[in-house]
Chain A
Amino acid sequence: MKIHIKNGRLIDPKSGTDARADLYIAAGKVAAVGKAPDGFSANRVIDATDLVVCPGLIDLSARLREPGFEYKATLESEMMAAVAGGVTSLACPPDTDPPLDEPGLVEMLKHRAKTLNLAHVYPIGALTVGLAGEQLTEMAELRDAGCVGFSHADIPLQDNQVLWRALQYAATFGFCVWLRPQDGYLAKDGVAHDGEMATRLGLPGIPAFAETIAIATIVELMRATGARVHLCRLSTREGVAMVRAAKREGLALSCDVGIHHAHLSEMDLGYFDSHCHLLPPLRSARDRDALREGLKDGTIDALCSDHSPVDEDSKLLPFGESEAGATGLELLLPLTLKWALEMKVTLAQALARVTQQPARVLGLDAGHLSMGYAADVCIFDPEQYRRVSAADLKSQGKNTPFLGIELPGKVRYTLVQGQVVYDAGTG
């Protein structure tokens, strides 16, 4: 299928392009940028006048809830949500049921995703068997099955000796270990940031140093092992500073921040809004501001959705009993744009944090629109504002703190490997 995307504002962070330019697609790949290839005859022409044409978004964390949690969401619904949000590649954490600790499970997931023919799915394998924190998984086998990295999801790996050895083993093969920095004991029973808001609301708190102590441990072990680590979902001001220092030192450390933490703070809990029950917790305004700055100055490599759909019943509970998590795939682009507008960052710089940078973290040569590469494209209207509503969300999870809020950026078309997988006109 030959596709000609014409008259759009082409933004490709990798090449630095931000100009009116046409895009030509053939055989699932980018055939040319700017000038049509000789003899190119399009089967379909997409008029992208007044629209942005950019690489498809790459989301570093989206829970698809399969296998095991189909009552929260299914692969079908969440992949539809992904492409409706302009996301063409996503990495999913291993905390499914059973966890992704065996090659067979990974292959099955990849196969399921492939038959749906929507976005690319990059599974992150479990670091330990059953995520129990004791025995190492067959990381090499899992890599061969398709895992791009190994993580412990949100489950604390308390035994530092196991963590040390896991990092050594991963370093042996050059694998990247994805870790959410949180000391399990310091965070025990906590549901909110340990500060003024938690004290007012009477909620058990998770102190900021639960994160910084974990980062300190991880950095020290990185020095000892030379392992490559990606820190998931930073939430503290001090944490950003520690990453900045570690990068300056030359350690192979990358990190991301979730869309909610780039915008919200503990104040948004309001009167016990369980939609703001997130892990890590929403922290102080100062923490949020440091995260926004860190994303701008490059200390934080990428913005991700941390998509975690939760069934409604699990949110209609007192705050402390409710399940943590928010739906996010369809809000990744709008919240990236909002961050860019507020931080006075160019569109190209903002999009880099959800395309080129996440690709680098995943170790993929993707997230750019270069000739000969897979045509994963997102076409959106940056000027259109839409109110977030449960009815509009394609994800099975309707749980978001942004319900009722107007956000910029409406995806019109999403293409994966040269095929239109989402067309706003047809829904």
Chain B
Amino acid sequence: MRNPQLNDKGELQHLLSIEGLPRETLTHILDTATSFVGVTAREVKKVPLLRGKSVFNLFFENSTRTRTTFEIAAKRLSADVINLNIAVSSHAKGETLLDTVDNLSAMHADMFVVRHAQSGAPHLIARHVATHLHVVNAGDGRHAHPTQGLLDLYTIRHYKKDFTRLSVAIVGDVLHSRVARSLIHALTVMGTPDIRVIGPMTLIPAGVEKLGVAVFHDLERGLRDVDVVVMLRLQSERMRGALLPSAQEFFKYYGLTPEKLALAKADAIVMHPGPLNRGVEIDSAVADGSHAVILSQVTFGIAVRMAVMSILAGN
């Protein structure tokens, strides 16, 4: 089964998932992003690469943060950006996903950035659109958030350089996390020898070890000597689904406090995809402390998205 992300020349046509992408492709994206970090640091933050191209943000699931970073990235490439909050418009009127996509394609879109609550929705769209259109997955259900995985990879490379000597811990609601899945695939491709997921049994998905990770239910044991700690966001719905009793108990046993962080390496970095739930998964002292690189992630995120869009648009 051919990877639907690749065109028949083997080039990246869509970015749907990190799973299945070779190391060279990931490295190419990271290296290209490095150049864009330089662009975003100067006064004129634009380059003309995507001038005349239309990027449509199709967000079937609300997210102002992610949508904004994609919009900024596209505009810095000189693209025209159209934002569509489908959650409130045609979808509610009963128009099917593919009908919406067809209508927008007819408006001469060049790229769709798609966020959807259902895993696999961007795959369905990519199978369906004309060959010149590119689809970027901005997060589908629990499945994948590839640009987040890439910017996390970029951040880790920036601070730690060599993946092959690292120990990385991913903490929290792994079951529902597309961020976790994408990061796990990214780290394994880059040769990270020790990847850990830490959380209560109710939040660790079945068969996750097969993805190449070690499972811990004890935060203190899981954090011992790690180089990178990635905290996942805990959504309030989890308390209602008989998965967790309360945010307080979760914070006591799985929240990242300075004391727990002290078990990691002295120069460990702390990451979080945002937005933060202070006092639920992470203590303010850690979030605002010297180990946290959360704001860097945001900056790198724009450069990484610029890299992804440029590479796709050029293929």
Contact = CB atoms under 8 A, between A and B. Distances in A.
B116 interface: yes
Interface in A264-281: 270-272
A198 B121 CA distance: 15
A318 B206 contact: no
Interface string A199-223: 1111101010000000000000000
Interface string B90-117: 0000001110000000000000000010
A285 to B, nearest CB: 13
A267 B297 CA distance: 35
B214 interface: no
Contacts of B128: 316
A247 B120 CA distance: 42
A320 interface: yes
Interface string B115-153: 010111101100010000000000011111000000000
B115 to A, nearest CB: 12
Contacts of B123: 271-272
Contacts of A201: 119-120, 143
Given A200-B181, A200-B211, A318 B144 contact: no
B125 to A, nearest CB: 9
B97 A318 contact: yes
B4 to A, nearest CB: 5
Interface string A304-339: 000000000100111111000000000000000000
A194 B206 contact: yes
Contacts of B119: 201-203, 272, 318-320
B289 interface: no
A196 interface: yes
A271 B96 CA distance: 20
A199 B98 contact: no
Contacts of B96: 313, 316-317
A401 interface: no
Contacts of B118: 318-321
Contact of B206 (A198, A271, A272, A316): A198
A9 B142 CA distance: 54
A195 interface: yes
A318 B128 CA distance: 12
Contacts of B140: 202, 318
A44 B124 CA distance: 52
A199 B120 contact: no
Contacts of B206: 194-196, 198-199, 205, 207
Contacts of A199: 181, 205-208, 210-211
Contact of A272 (B124, B178, B211): B124
B80 interface: no
B19 A272 contact: no
Contacts of B19: 200
A320 B97 CA distance: 13
B282 to A, nearest CB: 24
B121 A318 contact: yes
Contacts of B116: 318
Interface string B255-287: 000000000000000000000000000000000
B41 interface: no
B1 interface: yes
Contacts of B208: 199
Nearest to A317: B97
A317 B124 contact: yes
A319 B143 CA distance: 12
A205 B204 CA distance: 13
A284 B120 CA distance: 20
B143 A196 contact: no
Contacts of A205: 205-206
A318 B98 CA distance: 10
A356 to B, nearest CB: 38
Contacts of A321: 118
B141 A316 contact: no
Given A271-B123, A272-B123, A321-B118, A316 B142 contact: no
Nearest to A268: B1
Given A200-B211, A205-B205, 5 more contacts: A202-B119, A202-B140, A271-B1, A271-B120, A271-B123
27 contacts: A194-B206, A195-B206, A196-B210, A196-B211, A198-B205, A199-B181, A199-B210, A200-B19, A201-B119, A201-B120, A201-B143, A202-B140, A202-B144, A203-B120, A203-B143, A207-B206, A271-B4, A316-B98, A316-B128, A317-B124, A318-B118, A318-B120, A318-B140, A319-B119, A319-B120, A320-B118, A320-B141
Interface of A: 194-196, 198-203, 205, 207, 270-272, 313, 316-321
The 7 closest A-B pairs by CB, nearest first: A202-B143, A272-B120, A202-B142, A318-B118, A196-B207, A202-B119, A318-B121
